[in-house]
């Protein structure tokens, strides 16, 4: 009995605490290149990857076959078997609200994203010719001399996807695990840069290496360009444009680097890694 002789009924409720909620973000822009992959980045590592995948739908017109692959504990990608067809319309829905993503971690809200595949543009960076060639809809529209990574820091081979395109950036080796004060360290302001990897590879303006561009490799790993060519590249590329680097004296860019999805063979990609 409670105060005043009234009955008091005690009930116990279980609620989801703020500490057990996670959010998601969809990576992309409204118009993207033919190699763009759908990226969903969670704010926390996901214990049950299969449940997370089941909450994500990707549809397209025309329809494309695709599959999920996790590039980290908190980021999953959906990739078609081959490059998109220009003009394809794609819709992504992440319906995680209230979904237990494992170990009591719940999604806090749903989100969606629609995008369109732009023109068919492909870039080939060839160490044999020391050039970067841009093709749009099958026709060469620009050829640019370049300098790749020197022998001690060669530029990885493989297929890259373009990420951010920026007018100004500080290239800081400590961001990628190399102390600035070390012999191989650097912290250099750069103008006009096109991101090729999460590990710090950019095609960028490098006026200091113009005498080597087209003839020798002197960079720390990034393909160097003249400021004029780098500016043109920033203004004439889309997120998701493919860049193929070939004939360098280096291993292939890892498929889980962040922009190297296409370096994972399709049979491996389609089998997924949600159980690992």
**Domain residues of the chain, as ranges?**
18-118, 121-263
In sequence order, the β-bridge partners of residue 143 are: 133
In sequence order, the β-bridge partners of residue 40 are: 26, 76
**Residue-wise burial string across 127-136, b where 16 or more C-beta atoms lie within 10 A, e elsewhere:** beebbbbbeb
Of the residues 96, 222, 238, 264, only one is catalytic, namely 222
Q: What fold, for 121-263? A: L,D-transpeptidase catalytic domain-like (2.40.440)
Is the pLDDT assigned to residue 256 strictly greater than 90? yes
Is the pLDDT assigned to residue 176 strictly greater than 90? no
In the numeric block, which tokens belong to residue 40? 């969903």
Spatial neighbors of 18 by CB under 8 A, at least 6 apart, are none
Pairing of strands 24-27, 56-61: unpaired
Residue that is written with structure tokens 């889980």 in the block: 256
* 275 backbone dihedrals φ, ψ, rounded to 5°: -90, -5
pLDDT at 15: 46
CATH class of 18-118: mainly beta
Q: CA 47 from chain center: how many Å? A: 22
pLDDT at 17: 54
**Burial group, residue 106, by CB count within 10 angstroms (0-12, 13-18, 19+):** middle
The reported pTM is: 0.90
pLDDT at 13: 39
Average pLDDT, the chain: 93
Of the residues 165, 204, 217, 237, only one is catalytic, namely 204
Share of the chain above pLDDT 70, in %: 93
Residue that is written with structure tokens 């703020």 in the block: 18
Comparing CA positions, the residue from 61, 71, 62 lying closest to residue 40 is 71
Q: Which of 182-186, 222-226, 234-238, 239-243 has the lowest mean pLDDT?
A: 182-186
Instruction: Let me know if 222 is a catalytic residue.
Output: yes
Q: Does this chain's domain 18-118 share its CATH topology with 121-263?
A: no
pLDDT tens digits, one per residue of 6-16 = 333 333 434 44
Q: How far apart are CA 191 and CA 177, in angstroms?
A: 22
For the chain, the first-to-last Cα distance in angstroms comes to 55
Instruction: Let me know if 36 is a catalytic residue.
Output: no
- Band (pLDDT 50/70/90 cuts) for residue 185 is confident
């Amino acid at each position: 009995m409670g105060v005043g002789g009234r009955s008091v009924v005690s009930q116990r409720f279980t609620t989801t605490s703020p500490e057990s909620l996670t959010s998601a973000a969809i990576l992309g822009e409204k118009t993207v290149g033919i190699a763009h992959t759908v990226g969903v980045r969670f704010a926390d590592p996901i214990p049950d990857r299969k449940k997370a995948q089941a909450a994500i739908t990707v549809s397209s017109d025309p329809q494309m076959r695709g599959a999920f692959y996790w590039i980290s504990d908190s980021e999953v990608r959906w990739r078609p078997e081959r490059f998109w067809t220009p003009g394809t319309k794609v819709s992504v829905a992440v319906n995680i609200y209230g979904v237990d993503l494992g170990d009591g971690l719940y999604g806090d809200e749903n989100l969606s994203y629609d995008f369109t595949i732009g023109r068919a543009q492909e870039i080939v960076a060839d160490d044999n010719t020391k050039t970067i060639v841009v093709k749009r809809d099958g026709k060469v529209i620009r050829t640019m001399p370049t300098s790749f990574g020197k022998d001690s820091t060669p530029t990885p081979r493989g297929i890259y996807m373009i990420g951010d395109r920026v007018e100004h950036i500080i290239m800081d080796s400590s961001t990628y695990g190399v102390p600035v004060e070390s012999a191989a360290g650097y912290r250099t302001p750069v103008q006009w840069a096109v991101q090729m990897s999460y590990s710090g590879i950019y095609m960028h303006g490098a006026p200091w290496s113009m005498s080597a561009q087209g003839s020798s490799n002197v960079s720390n790993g990034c393909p160097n360009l003249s400021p004029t060519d780098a500016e043109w590249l920033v203004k004439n590329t889309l997120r998701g444009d493919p860049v193929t680097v070939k004939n360098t004296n280096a291993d292939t860019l890892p498929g889980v680097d962040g922009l190297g999805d296409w370096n994972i063979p399709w049979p491996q990609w389609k089998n997924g890694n949600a159980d690992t």
